[in-house]
Amino acid sequence: MTETKPFDISKRFVWEAYKRVKANKGAAGIDRQSMAEFEQSLAGNLYRIWNRMSSGSYFPPPVSAVAIPKKSGGERILGVPTISDRIAQTVATLVLNPILEPHFHEDSYGYRAGKSAHQALEVTRKRCWQYGWVLEYDIRGLFDHIDHGLLMKALRHHTDNKWILLYVQRWLTAPMQKRDGSIIPREVGSPQGGPLSPVLSNLFLHYALDNWLSTRHEAIPFCRYADDGIIHCRTRKQAVYMHQQIAERLNECGLEIHPEKTRIVYCKDANRTGDYENIQFDFLGYTFRPRKALNESGCAFLGFLPAPSNLALKSMRQTIRRWHLPLKSSWSLADLAQKFGPIIRGWMSYYCHFRRSALKDISFHLDKALARWAMRKYKRLRAHIVRAGKWIREVSQRDSGLFPHWRRSSSYVAGSMGAR
């Protein structure tokens, strides 16, 4: 006998959602259940999710409030759902994405398939050559202040799917649970950390900003990645006007422009020689500012160009220090490369996109840490940082494929460790 349910939800979507959640890994929710524990009764757990969602009886549990440090200081509160709830949210995301994606603006780059931070940076770089002024804006606490009524209105504009509307409303109002067990009710916001939050925030900002900008100010190009955005202007007067317009628009939607992270910037280069208090801005881990560069003929010129920000470089150096490489003297170099190589490779893939030499300082820092590891591992190198640095340089030249930063250029390796 065929089961009849109020809502037609494909079991295939539940299986696909499980595979995606498993691939993304992630911390346990308030039930402390790991993926390994969930998989001990995989078929039963997946059936339970499908059965409850299909029958309309699925009620999401509270999300676990987890504080993580920001690179710029302070903390960000993530709302971590349970594994079962992440799967349920992913089912909804699989249905919603094909519906909403075609409507999103081409210059919205965050959390979208086929879009990347590098694409956002590339289009920003090109437009900084074309436009002399930038309004760099940031939305204060976006995920904490999304208006549920406005969001549901936008969602109903695109779908009449009853189970989607029902469960999105329940997810929006699911409370947060702190470590001490206390419950925080929620009437606004969509906690950052769940699979559904990115698509909901993009939907909200599509109408709060993207669609509004493209219709009210169609001649002014913009680029947005989540809650960070760049607006290109031809004059300072236009940038001041857009600052006011953006602030008023966000206020209408229950949001606030971040006063300390929003500024007007002059894109100074060889063709723009004027002066202004701000001639640089940070976007997606890069700093755009006037820099010396070489053209195709090898001639030097001043361009307004991106490179890894000081904040990103500082974060990488802090990460290297947290590895405590000198304390791992029982490990081999191959062990260290296997453990930390993927992280280094990720840094290089992201931050060397525009300049091959972008991580020269980080390469030096890495090799200095490896030299200190060698000093602890080998008696002949103890108390001799210069000798240890020379040894690391020789190994990097002999086995350049061991660490990702060695493949780029052996010239970065500790040649002058004794002088620094």
The domain that holds 41 is classified in CATH as 3.90.1850.10
- pLDDT, residue 366, reads 96
Q: What are phi and psi of 146, to 5 degrees?
A: -65, 125
Q: 364 is in which domain, residue-wise?
A: 309-408
Is 120 within the bounds of a domain?
Answer: yes
Residues 52 and 123 in one domain: yes
Is 382 within the bounds of a domain?
Answer: yes
How many other CB atoms are found less than 10 A from the CB of residue 212? Answer: 18
Residues 108 and 24 in one domain: yes
Helices (H) and strands (E) in the chain, counts: 16, 11
- In the sheet that holds 63-69, the strands lie side by side as 75-80, 63-69, 176-177, 183-184
Answer whether residue 233 shows pLDDT above 80: yes
How many other CB atoms are found less than 10 A from the CB of residue 58? Answer: 23
Contact (Cβ atoms closer than 8 angstroms) between residue 305 and residue 279: no
* Domain final residue, candidates 224, 257, 290: 257
Q: What is the DSSP letter of 135?
A: E
Residues 224 and 367 in one domain: no
Residues 230 and 315 in one domain: no
Answer whether residue 71 shows pLDDT above 80: no
- pLDDT, residue 72, reads 65
Is 301 within the bounds of a domain?
Answer: no
With the C-alpha atoms ordered 297, 298, 302, 304, is the resulting torsion angle positive or negative? Answer: positive
Residues 213 and 350 in one domain: no
Among 92, 81, 32, CA closest to 194:
81
Residues 246 and 348 in one domain: no
- pLDDT, residue 127, reads 97
Least confident interval from 19-23, 261-265, 416-420? 416-420
Helix, strand, or coil (residue 33): coil
Residues 136 and 229 in one domain: yes
Is 225 within the bounds of a domain?
Answer: yes
Residues 163 and 98 in one domain: yes
- pLDDT, residue 1, reads 45
Q: In this predicted model, which residue has the larger pLDDT, 128 or 412?
A: 128
pTM: 0.90
Residues contacting residue 122 through CB under 8 Å, at least 6 positions apart: none
Among 354, 392, 353, CA closest to 372:
392
Is 419 within the bounds of a domain?
Answer: no
Q: What is the DSSP letter of 355?
A: -
Residues 223 and 317 in one domain: no
Structural tokens at position 405: 């930063």
Is 295 within the bounds of a domain?
Answer: no
Split into its structural domains, the chain has a count of: 2
* Interval 126-152: pLDDT, tens: 999 999 999 999 999 898 899 999 999
Q: What are phi and psi of 185, to 5 degrees?
A: -65, 155
